[in-house]
Amino acid sequence: MIYLDHNATTPPLPEVIEAVTECLRSGWGNPSSKHGFGQQARSALAQARAEVAALAGAQPVEVVFTSGATEANHHALSGALARSGAAPRVLLSATEHSGFMKAAMRLREVGIAVELLPVDGEGRLQPGALATALAEPAALLSVMAANNETGVLQPVADIAAQARAAGVPFHVDATQMAGKLPLDFAGWGADLMSMSAHKFGGPKGCGALIVRKGLNWPPLLSGQQERGRRGGTENMPGIAGFAVAARAARATMQPDGLRLGALRDTLEAALRETLPGLTVFGAAAPRLPNTLMLAITGLSADRVLDCLERQGIFASSGAACSSGGTEASHVLRAMGVPAADALGAVRLSLGRGNDAEQIARVVQTLSSLAPQQPLAAAAATTH
């Protein structure tokens, strides 16, 4: 199998499996219990918090463990609404994660003003539109650090500075950047940041919302855990695995990023040579080193994925979370890609297990899709 769907999820690292198993087997105490066994779990929790904080570029006290990035994003949104006045206004980039977009759209149904900030043809937030939106008071600005479909990076520090100057709380969804590029919560000057363990070798169902120290952010789930910021007995096996994955990511991120970036660039260059109808989305913007979102003129995503899967190669059409539906990616639509072209978009996302031999097989397989006759469909927009 050649797994090219690392932005959907990653295989858990062996040491993560070990840590999760060990926690289930012998570290299963409740960190809230006052006895020694509980205190053992409490100290494991503190250690894990420090590891996650180190990956986030944050302080341990700023880490709130959640059930993943979906919950962290919802926590950012619900907290903003709970803090805001009578007529809250929420600002979101038009390319946010589909789960987050859906939550925001549900707010519209109850009369809350949700404004989607436009991006340019490469998927980068339009600075003019951001400045205009920030001229009026808002309860939250949320922009992802790296897009899950295209890998396109946003200038997070600049956006955070503008939000800070306007007095608008800024949330960054760093789920796709975590473990692939360094995170710098403190240096960016963000107020809130979402992460998820399973995107970099950790277990599913475990993530964090980083909340800037001193910022009073109401809980999504009430209870005494996480200093009253997230109720519910902590997912200790998940948190133990998250911590081990965070530590591993800090150690391997740089060499992995260089290696995967070179593989991705080789793949992209080879496909450009062999496939005349190739479109690469977000190619002119800074991107995650592992991500390549493409379309081949005249071919649907299903056709391309089918051809790949017959060779044992697994990838996704757009966001995995929205696969199964035939709706064009909202990310590509926001970038101005016509719906018909967006329906051909396939995401190849590389990770630890991929090597040059595998990439050569992917090139060979996709090249077999090169048109043998004049292209039937209209040319796709090239980005």
Give the residue numbers annotated as catalytic, written as ranges: 321
Integer Cα distance of 122 and 138 in angstroms: 26
Integer Cα distance of 287 and 301 in angstroms: 21
Does residue 179 interact with ligand PMP by CB under 6 A? no
Nearer to ligand PMP, 88 or 207 (CB): 207
Integer Cα distance of 235 and 202 in angstroms: 13
Number of residues interacting with ligand PMP: please give it, by CB under 6 A.
14
Which residue is it, tokens 């999504």? 220
Does residue 294 interact with ligand PMP by CB under 6 A? no
> Residue 57 Cβ, how far from ligand PMP at the closest point, in Å?
18
Nearer to ligand PMP, 99 or 121 (CB): 99
Q: Which stretch binds ligand PMP (CB under 6 A): 64-72, 113-121, 254-262, 322-330?
A: 64-72
Nearer to ligand PMP, 70 or 162 (CB): 70
Write out the binding residues for ligand PMP, residues 226-285 only, by CB under 6 A. Answer: none
Does residue 119 interact with ligand PMP by CB under 6 A? no
Among 70, 150, 154, 322, binds ligand PMP (CB under 6 A): 70
Among 51, 62, 173, 234, binds ligand PMP (CB under 6 A): 173
> Residue 109 Cβ, how far from ligand PMP at the closest point, in Å?
22
> Residue 330 Cβ, how far from ligand PMP at the closest point, in Å?
13
Does residue 144 interact with ligand PMP by CB under 6 A? yes
Cross-strand bridge partners of residue 291: 349
Write out the binding residues for ligand PMP, residues 190-229 only, by CB under 6 A. Answer: 196, 207
Compute, in degrees rounded to 10, the torsion defined by CA atoms 221, 224, 229, 235: -70
| Position of minimal CB gap to ligand PMP | 68
Nearer to ligand PMP, 29 or 207 (CB): 207
Nearer to ligand PMP, 95 or 365 (CB): 95
Nearer to ligand PMP, 38 or 314 (CB): 314
Interface residues with ligand PMP (CB under 6 A) are 68-70, 73, 97, 99, 144, 148, 173, 175-176, 196, 207, 321
